[in-house]
Amino acid sequence: MTAALQASGLSVRYGGNLAVDGVDLVVPAGKMVGMVGANGAGKSTLINALAGWSRGTPSVRGTVQLAGQSMDALPPYRRAERGLVLVPEGKGIFADLTVTENLALVKPPSDTTGRHVFTMDDIYGLFPRLAERRGHKGGMLSGGERQMVAVSRALRAAPKVLLLDEPSAGLAPRLVYELLATMRKLVDRGLSLLLVEQNVRATLELVDELYLLERGKVVSKGPAAAMKDDPRILEAYLGTLTA
Ligand SMILES: Nc1ncnc2c1ncn2[C@@H]1O[C@H](COP(=O)(O)OP(=O)(O)O)[C@@H](O)[C@H]1O
Ligand SMILES: [Mg+2]
Protein backbone atom coordinates (compact mmCIF):
# COMPACT_ATOMS: atom_id res chain seq x y z
CA MET A 1 0.00 0.00 0.00
CA THR A 2 1.21 3.51 -0.79
CA ALA A 3 2.31 5.45 2.27
CA ALA A 4 0.45 8.66 3.09
CA LEU A 5 3.84 10.35 3.40
CA GLN A 6 7.27 9.05 2.56
CA ALA A 7 10.65 10.75 2.79
CA SER A 8 13.80 9.11 1.43
CA GLY A 9 17.37 10.19 2.03
CA LEU A 10 16.28 13.57 3.35
CA SER A 11 19.23 15.79 4.29
CA VAL A 12 19.28 19.46 5.26
CA ARG A 13 22.53 21.38 5.51
CA TYR A 14 23.06 24.85 6.97
CA GLY A 15 26.52 25.73 5.68
CA GLY A 16 28.83 23.25 7.36
CA ASN A 17 26.16 21.94 9.72
CA LEU A 18 24.32 18.85 8.50
CA ALA A 19 21.17 19.33 10.63
CA VAL A 20 19.25 16.41 9.04
CA ASP A 21 21.33 13.52 7.78
CA GLY A 22 19.81 11.04 5.34
CA VAL A 23 16.46 10.45 7.04
CA ASP A 24 14.08 7.79 5.70
CA LEU A 25 10.58 8.09 7.09
CA VAL A 26 7.16 6.60 6.38
CA VAL A 27 3.79 7.73 7.69
CA PRO A 28 1.30 4.97 6.79
CA ALA A 29 -2.23 6.10 5.92
CA GLY A 30 -4.41 6.55 8.99
CA LYS A 31 -1.51 6.19 11.43
CA MET A 32 0.13 8.44 13.98
CA VAL A 33 3.90 8.48 13.85
CA GLY A 34 6.04 10.15 16.50
CA MET A 35 9.54 11.55 16.07
CA VAL A 36 11.29 12.30 19.34
CA GLY A 37 14.70 13.75 20.02
CA ALA A 38 16.53 16.20 22.23
CA ASN A 39 16.66 19.94 21.73
CA GLY A 40 18.78 20.62 18.62
CA ALA A 41 18.45 17.07 17.23
CA GLY A 42 17.01 18.43 13.98
CA LYS A 43 13.31 17.77 14.51
CA SER A 44 12.07 21.18 13.35
CA THR A 45 14.48 21.25 10.43
CA LEU A 46 13.18 17.85 9.34
CA ILE A 47 9.45 18.55 9.69
CA ASN A 48 9.89 21.93 7.97
CA ALA A 49 11.70 20.24 5.08
CA LEU A 50 8.79 17.83 4.71
CA ALA A 51 6.49 20.84 4.37
CA GLY A 52 8.90 22.49 1.93
CA TRP A 53 9.65 25.25 4.39
CA SER A 54 12.85 26.46 6.01
CA ARG A 55 14.30 29.13 8.23
CA GLY A 56 17.21 30.61 6.32
CA THR A 57 18.41 29.02 3.07
CA PRO A 58 19.68 25.51 3.79
CA SER A 59 20.45 23.04 1.02
CA VAL A 60 17.89 20.26 0.99
CA ARG A 61 18.40 16.82 -0.59
CA GLY A 62 16.28 13.74 -0.85
CA THR A 63 12.67 13.15 -1.83
CA VAL A 64 9.28 13.71 -0.22
CA GLN A 65 6.19 11.96 -1.56
CA LEU A 66 2.57 12.51 -0.57
CA ALA A 67 0.50 9.44 -1.48
CA GLY A 68 3.16 8.53 -4.04
CA GLN A 69 3.32 12.00 -5.63
CA SER A 70 6.55 13.94 -5.50
CA MET A 71 6.42 17.17 -3.50
CA ASP A 72 10.01 18.12 -4.21
CA ALA A 73 9.35 20.88 -6.73
CA LEU A 74 6.43 22.38 -4.80
CA PRO A 75 6.59 25.39 -2.45
CA PRO A 76 4.92 25.05 0.99
CA TYR A 77 1.55 26.53 0.00
CA ARG A 78 1.23 24.08 -2.91
CA ARG A 79 2.07 21.16 -0.61
CA ALA A 80 -0.61 22.41 1.79
CA GLU A 81 -3.14 22.59 -1.05
CA ARG A 82 -2.39 18.94 -1.81
CA GLY A 83 -3.01 18.08 1.84
CA LEU A 84 0.43 18.18 3.48
CA VAL A 85 -0.15 20.74 6.23
CA LEU A 86 2.32 21.92 8.87
CA VAL A 87 1.63 23.38 12.30
CA PRO A 88 4.98 25.08 12.90
CA GLU A 89 6.72 25.47 16.22
CA GLY A 90 5.81 28.69 18.01
CA LYS A 91 2.20 28.83 16.89
CA GLY A 92 2.06 32.30 15.23
CA ILE A 93 -1.60 33.20 15.66
CA PHE A 94 -2.88 36.77 15.34
CA ALA A 95 -3.12 38.52 18.71
CA ASP A 96 -5.59 41.19 17.55
CA LEU A 97 -8.03 38.78 15.90
CA THR A 98 -10.58 36.65 17.75
CA VAL A 99 -10.43 32.87 17.76
CA THR A 100 -13.14 32.70 15.09
CA GLU A 101 -11.39 35.33 12.95
CA ASN A 102 -8.09 33.46 13.22
CA LEU A 103 -9.80 30.28 12.03
CA ALA A 104 -11.71 32.03 9.25
CA LEU A 105 -8.43 33.18 7.70
CA VAL A 106 -7.89 29.67 6.37
CA LYS A 107 -10.18 28.55 3.57
CA PRO A 108 -10.38 24.89 2.57
CA PRO A 109 -8.82 24.22 -0.87
CA SER A 110 -11.15 24.29 -3.89
CA ASP A 111 -10.77 20.54 -4.51
CA THR A 112 -11.32 18.54 -1.34
CA THR A 113 -12.09 15.19 -2.99
CA GLY A 114 -11.46 12.41 -0.51
CA ARG A 115 -10.59 14.83 2.27
CA HIS A 116 -12.37 15.68 5.46
CA VAL A 117 -13.47 19.30 5.56
CA PHE A 118 -13.73 20.64 9.11
CA THR A 119 -16.50 23.17 9.65
CA MET A 120 -16.26 25.67 12.51
CA ASP A 121 -18.76 23.49 14.38
CA ASP A 122 -16.56 20.40 13.90
CA ILE A 123 -13.62 22.31 15.31
CA TYR A 124 -15.52 23.71 18.26
CA GLY A 125 -16.78 20.18 18.91
CA LEU A 126 -13.21 18.89 19.04
CA PHE A 127 -12.03 21.77 21.23
CA PRO A 128 -14.89 22.82 23.55
CA ARG A 129 -12.52 25.20 25.29
CA LEU A 130 -12.12 27.16 22.04
CA ALA A 131 -15.89 27.26 21.61
CA GLU A 132 -16.12 29.03 24.97
CA ARG A 133 -13.44 31.48 23.92
CA ARG A 134 -14.46 31.99 20.29
CA GLY A 135 -14.92 35.75 20.73
CA HIS A 136 -11.66 36.28 22.64
CA LYS A 137 -8.65 37.90 20.99
CA GLY A 138 -5.64 35.68 20.25
CA GLY A 139 -3.49 37.76 22.57
CA MET A 140 -5.74 36.93 25.54
CA LEU A 141 -5.44 33.15 25.19
CA SER A 142 -3.34 30.79 27.28
CA GLY A 143 -0.51 28.82 25.66
CA GLY A 144 -2.69 25.73 25.46
CA GLU A 145 -5.55 27.63 23.83
CA ARG A 146 -3.20 29.21 21.31
CA GLN A 147 -1.89 25.76 20.41
CA MET A 148 -5.49 24.58 19.90
CA VAL A 149 -6.07 27.53 17.54
CA ALA A 150 -2.90 26.69 15.61
CA VAL A 151 -3.97 23.05 15.19
CA SER A 152 -7.53 24.07 14.31
CA ARG A 153 -6.28 26.42 11.65
CA ALA A 154 -4.37 23.56 10.07
CA LEU A 155 -7.50 21.39 10.19
CA ARG A 156 -9.38 24.10 8.26
CA ALA A 157 -7.00 23.38 5.37
CA ALA A 158 -8.46 19.82 5.16
CA PRO A 159 -5.14 18.00 5.65
CA LYS A 160 -4.45 14.46 4.49
CA VAL A 161 -1.21 14.42 6.43
CA LEU A 162 -0.82 16.76 9.39
CA LEU A 163 2.70 17.69 10.53
CA LEU A 164 2.86 18.89 14.14
CA ASP A 165 6.01 20.47 15.54
CA GLU A 166 6.18 20.17 19.34
CA PRO A 167 2.58 20.99 20.19
CA SER A 168 3.32 20.27 23.86
CA ALA A 169 5.97 22.99 24.21
CA GLY A 170 5.12 25.20 27.19
CA LEU A 171 1.90 23.39 28.08
CA ALA A 172 0.88 21.92 31.44
CA PRO A 173 1.10 18.09 31.44
CA ARG A 174 -2.68 17.62 31.57
CA LEU A 175 -3.14 19.87 28.53
CA VAL A 176 -0.40 18.03 26.63
CA TYR A 177 -2.22 14.76 27.08
CA GLU A 178 -5.60 16.30 26.19
CA LEU A 179 -4.26 17.86 22.98
CA LEU A 180 -2.46 14.71 21.86
CA ALA A 181 -5.48 12.56 22.72
CA THR A 182 -7.60 14.81 20.49
CA MET A 183 -5.03 14.28 17.72
CA ARG A 184 -5.32 10.52 18.26
CA LYS A 185 -9.09 10.81 17.83
CA LEU A 186 -8.58 12.48 14.43
CA VAL A 187 -6.17 9.73 13.38
CA ASP A 188 -8.71 7.11 14.37
CA ARG A 189 -11.11 8.87 11.97
CA GLY A 190 -8.63 8.58 9.08
CA LEU A 191 -6.13 11.44 9.34
CA SER A 192 -2.42 10.59 8.97
CA LEU A 193 -0.19 12.40 11.41
CA LEU A 194 3.48 13.02 12.08
CA LEU A 195 4.15 14.39 15.53
CA VAL A 196 7.53 15.80 16.47
CA GLU A 197 8.04 15.95 20.23
CA GLN A 198 10.46 16.24 23.10
CA ASN A 199 7.83 14.77 25.42
CA VAL A 200 8.66 11.08 24.97
CA ARG A 201 6.23 9.73 27.55
CA ALA A 202 3.05 11.33 26.15
CA THR A 203 4.13 10.59 22.58
CA LEU A 204 4.83 6.90 23.22
CA GLU A 205 1.39 6.43 24.73
CA LEU A 206 -0.47 7.72 21.70
CA VAL A 207 1.49 6.97 18.53
CA ASP A 208 1.54 3.79 16.43
CA GLU A 209 5.20 4.08 15.53
CA LEU A 210 8.11 5.98 16.98
CA TYR A 211 11.37 7.30 15.53
CA LEU A 212 14.28 8.54 17.62
CA LEU A 213 16.36 11.31 16.08
CA GLU A 214 19.88 12.10 17.31
CA ARG A 215 22.11 14.69 15.67
CA GLY A 216 20.00 14.61 12.52
CA LYS A 217 20.00 10.82 12.16
CA VAL A 218 17.30 8.25 12.85
CA VAL A 219 19.04 6.00 15.40
CA SER A 220 16.08 3.82 16.30
CA LYS A 221 12.52 3.20 15.07
CA GLY A 222 9.71 0.73 15.52
CA PRO A 223 6.17 0.12 16.76
CA ALA A 224 5.48 2.19 19.89
CA ALA A 225 4.97 -0.92 22.03
CA ALA A 226 8.44 -2.24 21.14
CA MET A 227 10.11 1.16 21.47
CA LYS A 228 9.05 1.32 25.13
CA ASP A 229 11.84 -1.18 25.83
CA ASP A 230 14.48 0.47 23.65
CA PRO A 231 17.43 1.39 25.90
CA ARG A 232 17.84 4.75 24.17
CA ILE A 233 14.19 5.55 24.85
CA LEU A 234 14.57 4.48 28.48
CA GLU A 235 17.45 6.91 28.68
CA ALA A 236 15.16 9.62 27.33
CA TYR A 237 12.53 8.74 29.97
CA LEU A 238 15.16 9.29 32.63
CA GLY A 239 15.82 12.73 31.18
CA THR A 240 19.44 12.00 30.35
CA LEU A 241 19.00 12.42 26.62
CA THR A 242 21.25 15.22 25.39
CA ALA A 243 21.73 16.78 21.99
N1 LIG B 1 18.12 28.76 10.28
C2 LIG B 1 19.17 28.06 10.74
N3 LIG B 1 20.43 28.38 10.37
C4 LIG B 1 21.49 27.67 10.81
N5 LIG B 1 21.39 26.58 11.62
C6 LIG B 1 20.17 26.22 12.01
C7 LIG B 1 18.99 26.93 11.60
N8 LIG B 1 17.91 26.31 12.16
C9 LIG B 1 18.39 25.28 12.88
N10 LIG B 1 19.73 25.22 12.79
C11 LIG B 1 20.60 24.20 13.43
O12 LIG B 1 20.15 22.92 13.05
C13 LIG B 1 20.21 22.02 14.14
C14 LIG B 1 18.84 21.43 14.42
O15 LIG B 1 17.96 22.44 14.89
P16 LIG B 1 16.39 22.18 15.01
O17 LIG B 1 15.90 21.54 13.78
O18 LIG B 1 15.75 23.46 15.42
O19 LIG B 1 16.34 21.12 16.21
P20 LIG B 1 15.13 20.68 17.16
O21 LIG B 1 13.85 21.13 16.54
O22 LIG B 1 15.26 19.19 17.27
O23 LIG B 1 15.37 21.34 18.49
C24 LIG B 1 20.79 22.81 15.30
O25 LIG B 1 22.16 22.56 15.35
C26 LIG B 1 20.48 24.24 14.93
O27 LIG B 1 21.42 25.10 15.50
MG1 LIG C 1 12.28 22.24 17.22
pLDDT tens per residue, range 52-83: 998 888 899 999 999 999 999 999 999 999 99
Give mean pLDDT, residues 101-130: 91
For the chain, the C-alpha Rg in angstroms (whole number) is 17
pLDDT tens per residue, range 149-204: 999 999 999 999 999 999 988 888 888 888 899 999 999 999 999 999 988 888 99
Contacting residues for 85 by C-beta, under 8 A, at least 6 apart: 51, 154, 157, 159, 161, 162, 163
Whose Cα sits closest to atom 6 in ligand 1? Answer: 14
**CB 19 near ligand 1, within 6 Å:** yes
* Distance (Å) from CA 132 to ligand 2 centroid: 30
**CB 55 near ligand 1, within 6 Å:** yes
pLDDT band at residue 238 using 50, 70 and 90 as cut-offs:
low
User: Is the Cα dihedral 47, 184, 118, 160 positive or negative?
Assistant: positive
* Distance (Å) from CA 199 to ligand 1 centroid: 18
Q: What pLDDT shows up at residue 223?
A: 97
> Among the atoms of ligand 1, which is closest to the Cα of residue 55?
1
Q: What pLDDT shows up at residue 168?
A: 85
Specify the pairing of strand 209-214 against strand 161-165: unpaired
Whose Cα sits closest to atom 24 in ligand 1? Answer: 40
Long-range contacts of 223-232 (CB under 8 A, 24+ apart): 224/34, 228/204
Ligand closest to 42 (CA) is: 1
Q: What pLDDT shows up at residue 239?
A: 56
pLDDT band at residue 237 using 50, 70 and 90 as cut-offs:
low
pLDDT tens per residue, range 28-41: 999 999 999 989 99
Q: What pLDDT shows up at residue 219?
A: 95
Q: What pLDDT shows up at residue 210?
A: 97
**CB 88 near ligand 1, within 6 Å:** no
* Distance (Å) from CA 169 to ligand 2 centroid: 9
Q: What is the DSSP letter of 53?
A: -
* Distance (Å) from CA 216 to ligand 2 centroid: 12
User: Is the Cα dihedral 195, 198, 200, 201 positive or negative?
Assistant: negative
Q: What pLDDT shows up at residue 242?
A: 47
Burial of 105 (0-12, 13-18, 19+ CB in 10 A): exposed
Q: What pLDDT shows up at residue 129?
A: 92
For 29-38+81-237, give the CATH class.
alpha beta
pLDDT tens per residue, range 38-51: 899 999 999 999 99
pLDDT greater than 50 at residue 241: no
Specify the pairing of strand 209-214 against strand 32-36: parallel
Q: What pLDDT shows up at residue 243?
A: 42
Q: What pLDDT shows up at residue 24?
A: 98
**Global pTM?**
0.94
pLDDT tens per residue, range 199-220: 888 899 999 999 999 999 999 9
* Distance (Å) from CA 107 to ligand 2 centroid: 27
User: Is the Cα dihedral 121, 125, 126, 127 positive or negative?
Assistant: positive
